[in-house]
Structure 1
Amino acid sequence: MSNILHSPPRESLTERLDRLPFTRRHGSLLVGSGIGWALDAFDVGLISFVIAQLSVTWKADAATLSWVASAGFAGMAVGAALGGLLADKLGRKQVFALTLLLYGVATGASALAWSVGVLLVLRFIVGLGLGAELPVASTLVSEFAPRRIRGRIVVLLEGFWAIGWLGSAVVGYLVIPTSPNGWRLALLIGMLPAVWAVFVRLRLPESVRFLQSKRRHAEAESIVVQFEASAGIVSDDSGVVGPVDSPEGRQNSAVPAGAVPDQPSRLTDLFSGDLRQRSILIWLVWFLVNFSYYGAFIWLPTLLVAAGFPLVKSFEFILIITLAQLPGYAASAYLVEKWGRRVTLSTFLIGSAVSAVAFGFGAVNGSETQIIGFGMLLSFFNLGAWGALYAMTPELYPTRLRGSGAGSAAGFGRIGSIAAPLLVPPLLALGGPILLFVVFGIVFVFAAGAAYALPELRGKTLPE
């Protein structure tokens, strides 16, 4: 008896993708997208160390340097919205590669900046590419992942963020303190995404769901066959899928079952009908999580320096705290399929709230052990929440709006990441680290409430 698997007849392409096991093809897609994701995190994390050094070498005040961080996030807000729209028009793969190239080149150019003003402009351009890439990559991976483990795969993709942020902490610790221009060398290292973009463009597949929506059915069929072949499913030259010695099969038609015709998508569609409540809630969650995460982590190195720790010692603390991101993602990847997206996201956000408040008190009255311990808890819960958020967001929208929906939510969220770095200096002046992190904790609680009101979509087919 043959052990070769075969597809039941008359299955749609998306149904065939959904029932596949995790294959080598899925692994290549995950790693290919994930390395681009890690390089993004490297860039975002690096700027926190750059700001810490510029506060010393350029003698720039906190209010001025806060604009450097916010300029990048302003670019990310615009880039996320535009990237999502372009991904629904041009394809996920194309936009993914172009955004990597844009921000990689702009990051290298940032190393040549001679003033805060020039750095601001270049960081905005970096943000355009960075903001567009993240929701596009998560949409692409989500549309290929088998249904029963889709959330877990997207969280694992988000887990590459921890690898990139850890890389930035290593470079920040080993490279930036070596000379007054160490930050320039660190930014030059950030040009790596420009090289990676070439690989992404040539090797990653385009979304089958996107191809079907554009009536490119032959291309979509070819990609599904490749993924099936990786799982031991074969196809003959006539397009019949099944064992080569079996009469069963399915004749490929001009318009396959389950194909969705191309429909014009508008941003206003995200707030029509049943999507209105989803969009409002997910935009709110994105805004609140961005506010607290970037408000805390972009300023951590500078806060520790201001607390009296030497630059190198502060960077060492951040390196240790960053390590806790990895188990945070691992726990989230397991729980999104065990508990579901909504409960996992809400739980990790509550954990982030408690950890933020504890860190605020520890930063003022605690020992080094308390600072590191509470910082690791904040890192664990906050990054686990990010993983669940990225898993949930693309699932909320149909194919023709999936890129736009994920991109616009991320883009709106970036408004929070723009505002947070600007508000940190006045909050510190008003009440020190305790007030600052209590505010972050309260914001996390509101985010948890909004997340819990979203629908649970674990194990369900992506809406077409």
Structure 2
Amino acid sequence: MKNAERSVDVQAFIDSQRFSPFQWAILVLCFLVVAADGFDTAAVGFIAPSLVLEWGVTRASLGPVMSAALVGLGIGAVAAGPCADRVGRKTVLVLSVFFFGAWSFAAAHASSIESLTVLRFFTGLGLGAAMPNAVTLMSEYAPARIRAVVVNAMFCGFSCGLAIGGVASAWLIPHFGWPGVLVAGGVGPIVLTVLLILLLPESVQFMVARQGADARIARILRRIAPLGRFDGCRFVSAESQASRKGQSAPGLVLSSRYRFGTLMLWLAYFMGLLIYYLLTNWLPTLFRDTGFTGQNAALMTSLFPLGGVLGNLCVGWVMDRFNGGRVIAFTYVLVAALVLLVGRGVGHQIWLGALIFVTGTVVTSAVTSMSALAASFYPTRGRATGVAWMLGVGRIGGVAGALVGAALMSMGWQFGAVFGLLAVPALIAALGLYVMTKRAMREEPTQDEAGATVAAQLGH
């Protein structure tokens, strides 16, 4: 009994340590998961022209194929969160990566629009389950002082996956045809699954919440701090104790304590993805309608995602130093101001190009940073569910963005009017996050919630 009573709070311990090589390895693995997610999410867009030529179908007939993965993404995200909060982040992450890799590989052998649509739906289920669990696991291994920038750095993998997909497709399709892209999108995740099984640890916070894994927790913490001495220690987590009341993860996310914040996160993420997907899908058409050539329209559109990596890191860095909710709310206000400016800058190509680049940077970083905010908002018991459900609801915003864009185009809306309208969802997102943060900061911590108050989770 000499050391049996010594307790170690695992999150406080992680917060007190430098970011170790072991945590860098976790970041790299999660980055690769998100990169594979980005590659496979965009795969159909890369192969669509080849499908039209080889199968003799119209572009319109590819609509179900394009949307099937998005539908699967939403369902996969909603289902995976509660599973991860019950059986573990690593387990669900490994299964989901293998799942979307296997179905992508199977899709390479599709012989009709119908079969490809079904296989892309199943691929989407795995893709939707992977992202929220990568976010949750990474956030639980990142020290609080740098959590937002670490999670946002992990999210840069999505942009890298998109870029790699474009480059790889340009080489694979001429040599192996369109199936080569889907084979690459299947083999990569399957190989990555082996690395995840061998190298990725389970979340120590999850293991504390489940209890009975002190020896495993000690081995993991020694990899973060090799000089640490944990013999006979009992591992605890203040936020896990605060949220351990027999409540299910979905029940916690929708409880009176978290319900308002949950709805505001959903609202803000929905609006953010509505803006992002409307612009990424319809910018080329909008530029063509204003008199740009096809080449210049493509060039202007390519400026939109270029600044995403830098924006993610910058906003994450600021979130780690100031109130995260207010930082993202201010970022959405910047989005509103920028889309209004873009709508007025059509006549000046250099000025317009600069505005498109900055707007893309700010929109991308606002949307990406929402995952870091959600991971900080929920306690361990409901974190995977909370993050996953926000991402799932956000996918509906992405679909809505594409549909709203199509409706505006059919009504003959012009460039400036479309961009002016986008200021509305940006301001709605900003208002939702501001109200959420203000309400959270007013709440007084109760004794049993000392380690997991919403006010502490949203800011510093």
| TM-score category of the 2 structures, normalised to the smaller one | 0.7 to 0.9
2:317 aligns to what? 334
Alpha-carbon separation, structure 1, partners of 2:344 and 2:102: 41
Please give the per-residue CA displacement for 1:129-148, whole angstroms capped at 9, x wherever unaligned.
11111111111111111122
Aligned to 1:248: none
1:451 aligns with 2:436: no
Q: CA offsets, 1:32-63, max 9 Å, x none? A: 1111111212223444444566677755245x
1:309, 1:111 → 2: CA distance? 36
What residue number does 1:187 align with?
182
Aligned partner of residue 135 in structure 2, secondary structure = helix
Partners of 1:312 and 1:287 in 2: how far apart?
31
Deviations 1:402-446 (A, max 9, x none): 111111111122221233323332221113452444443321221
TM-score by length of 2: 0.83
* Aligned pair partner of 2:104 in 98, 104, 107: 107
| 2:262 alignment partner AA | S
- What are the equivalent positions in structure 2 for 1:398-437 lying under 5 Å apart? 398-432=379-413, 434=415, 435-437=417-419
Which of 288, 292, 304 aligns to 2:271? It is: 288
Return the match for 1:389 from 361, 370, 381.
370
1:234 and 2:228 are equivalent in the alignment: yes
Classify 1:307/1:351 alpha carbon distance in 2 versus 1 (closer, same or farther; 3 Å). Answer: same
Q: Does 1:224 align with 2:207?
A: no
Unaligned residue ranges in structure 1 (runs of 5+): 1-8, 241-250
Q: Does 1:441 align with 2:423?
A: yes
Write the distance in 2 (CA, Å) between the matches of 1:156 and 1:188: 27
Identity among equivalent pairs (%): 26
Q: Which range moved further: 119-128 or 19-28? A: 119-128
Is 1:154 the counterpart of 2:148? The answer is no
| C-alpha distance 194-26 of structure 1, shift in aligned 2 (>3 A) | same
DSSP 3-state at the match of 1:338? coil
User: Can you list the C-alpha shifts for 1:138-172, whole angstroms capped at 9, x where unaligned?
Assistant: 11111111122112211211222222222234346
Corresponding position of 2:65: 68
Distance 1:205 1:451 in 2: 33
CA contact (8 A) 2:149 2:312 kept: no
**Residue 212 of structure 1, CA deviation:** 1.2
SS in 2 for 1:455: helix
Alpha-carbon separation, structure 2, partners of 1:366 and 1:350: 24
Q: Does 1:97 align with 2:91?
A: no
Which structure 2 segments of 5+ residues have no match?
A: 1-5, 442-449
- What is the number of equivalent residue pairs in this alignment? 434
The one-character-per-residue Cα deviations of 1:61-83 (angstroms, maximum 9, x if unpaired) are 45x44443332211111111111
The answer (yes or no) to whether the contact 1:104–1:193 under 8 Å persists in 2 is yes
CA distance in 2, matches of 1:80, 1:11: 33
- What is the rounded CA distance, in whole Å, between the counterparts of 1:284 and 1:443 in structure 2? 9
CA distance in 2, matches of 1:264, 1:124: 32
Residues 360 and 128 of structure 1: CA distance in aligned 2, closer, same or farther (over 3 Å)? farther
Report the Cα distance in structure 2 between the residues aligned to 1:415 and 1:294, rounded to whole angstroms.
Answer: 11
- Select which of 199, 205, 230 maps to 1:209: 205
Q: Quote the Cα distance in structure 1 between the aligned partners of 2:408 and 2:130.
A: 32
**Deviation per CA, 1:375-422, whole angstroms, max 9, x where unpaired?**
322320112112321110011112111111111111122221233323
Matches within 5 A, 1:257-268: 258=238, 260=241, 263-268=246-251
Residue range with higher mean Cα deviation, 278-287 or 103-112: 103-112
Aligned residue for 2:446?
Answer: none
> How has the CA–CA distance of structure 1 residues 252 and 129 changed in structure 2, closer, same or farther, with 3 Å as cutoff?
same
Aligned to 1:377: 358
Q: Is the 8 A contact 1:325 1:383 kept in 2?
A: yes
Contact 1:215 1:262 (8 Å CA) reproduced: no
Deviations 1:76-112 (CA, angstroms, capped at 9, x unpaired): 1111111111110111011111111111222233334
Q: Which moved more, 1:348-357 or 1:275-284?
A: 348-357
Q: Which amino acid aligns with 1:346?
A: A
SS in 1 for 2:17: coil
TM-score (normalised: structure 1): 0.82
Match of 2:10 in 1: 13
* Cα distance change of structure 1 residues 441 and 109 upon mapping to structure 2, 3 Å threshold: farther
